[in-house]
Amino acid sequence: MKLTPLLIIVVAFLLFLPPGSVIAKTAGVGIYAVVDHVMFEPDSSSPPNFLRISGIFVVPVPLSSGSYKSPQRGYLYFRITPGTEQATRKDWSELKAVAGSGKVVAFGQYWVPNPEDPQGNPHHSLEITVHAEPNNAEPDVYPIPLSEGVIKGDDILRNVSRDPDASKIIAQLQEASRR
């Protein structure tokens, strides 16, 4: 049997996937989460520009992989991208509303514009860091909000065309939240 170079590359890619990662070639959702707590900065007396979300997260594997990392407990720390204030603050309000409910949510776009491409074509996956507690992290840029905002509970499964592996990701998050 003769192995073609393409087949060798595909096999090598599959062998180097992190254990427990989920491949979602048509991924549209950037982050899946069970949100425990949300904290705004500055405090609630003025419009927030920073957000810290504590919980369990499934985030993309970097570099246009089409796959997600295994669930990780910790926190995400975000800042607002200029020009997206209204949609971002709407997402943040929805995340605050589900905090502590134990429900799985999905938010942010998976594919992000490539700053090296003059047309800004989305050529790579969202790169998000799940930080360990305690940690004084630099904020990531909040991902481009999904057109429907934060997707909650059963609505994630109704939107399977966006991520065909959503049910696997939800099961992983639910299992991780029981530990």
Average pLDDT over residues 27-33: 87
Domain spans of the chain?
Answer: 20-178
Task: Tell me how far CA of residue 54 lies from CA of 26, 32, 96, 115, in angstroms.
Answer: 27, 13, 11, 29
Residues 97-142: tens digit of each pLDDT:
999 999 999 999 988 877 777 776 767 888 999 998 777 888 999 9
Per DSSP, which regions of 21-159 are E strands? 22-23, 29-41, 50-58, 67-68, 72-79, 104-109, 111-113, 122-125, 140-141, 151-152
Res 159: pLDDT: 67
State residue 21's pLDDT score.
Answer: 41
Q: Which pLDDT belongs to residue 160?
A: 53
Q: What is the pLDDT of residue 7?
A: 38
Task: Please give the pLDDT value at position 156.
Answer: 84
What is the full DSSP assignment across 142-175?
Answer: PPPPPTT-SEETHHHHHTTTT-TTHHHHHHHHHH
Q: What is the pLDDT of residue 8?
A: 41
- Write the pLDDT tens digit of every residue in 50-94: 999 999 999 998 876 678 999 999 999 999 988 889 999 999 999
Predicted TM-score (pTM) of this structure: 0.79
pLDDT at 6 over 70: no
